[in-house]
Amino acid sequence: MNVRFDGQTVIVTGAAHGFGRAISLAFAERGANVWACDVNRSGLAMTEQQALERNLPLNVRVVDVADREMVREFVREAGAGERLDVLVNNAGGVLGQVGRPLEDISEDDWHAIFRVNVDGAFYFSQAAAPLMKARGSGRIVNISSGAGLGVSLTGIQAYASAKAAQIGLTRQLAHELGPFGITVNNVAPGFVRSNPTTERQWGSYGEEGQRRLVEGIALKKLGTPDDIAHAVLFFASEYAGWITGQVLSVDGGK
């Protein structure tokens, strides 16, 4: 299966490291005009540098996905040629929070995780929809988590809840946007060592915890950011033209 995106405009959020970086570079390698954004300026610069080293064109912008007007301005810039083919809502995470008892969670901590994981996906989809509707086609791919289908390995209540909400948003938008030729799907990664947060999480398990985690995976190994990027490429490709509202677990088998 030779997947190409020549001439297509692709937006990827949360592109400063991990999944977002791998997804951005994967699209650029396949001919797409990629617009990558993140609030992490230094990480975004590293993504841009890796693209330059591979001689890949990549447009990067610092964008807070929880800022609706900033999102709208970025989408207007990326779609200035009146074309937006693919939107990948990857931005998310736990924002440095750790698992704590329910009664210790502040209102600000709860809402902060929802803003980046759910509000951001909503704002970007809302801004992208008119461009896709005008062309009668488009692909939206949301990146959730196994936590949205089960429980959070770290016990972070807001993260599990936000990722479940994002899956619900995926299914709802699939039905709303389907008549316009727009598909909306979701990739739910398992545990992948992809950024500083997951490295700290991995280290916190210790040797025995790490062994148990890997043993609980059918393929008996951890995945990579490229494994997640490949699933996104499939959903964004012509091969997934009659697939929408679906959640694909990319976790090595549970």
Answer yes or no: are the C-beta atoms of 252 and 192 closer than 8 Å: no
Dihedral angle computed from the Cα positions of residues 190, 195, 199 and 200, in that order, rounded to the nearest 10 degrees? -110
User: DSSP labels for 52-88?
Assistant: HHTT--EEEEE--TT-HHHHHHHHHHHTTTS---EEE
Residue 206 has phi, psi (to 5 degrees) of 70, 170
Answer yes or no: 159 catalytic: yes
Distance CA(79)–CA(102), nearest Å, equals 42
Distance CA(56)–CA(53), nearest Å, equals 8
* Token pair for 135: 């062309």
Sign of the C-alpha dihedral computed for residues 146, 228, 218 and 240 taken in this order: positive
Active-site residue identified among 123, 159, 205, 239 = 159
Residue 6 has phi, psi (to 5 degrees) of -60, 130
Which residues are registered as beta bridge partners of 250? 189
Residue 168 in 3-state DSSP? Answer: helix
Active site residues: 159
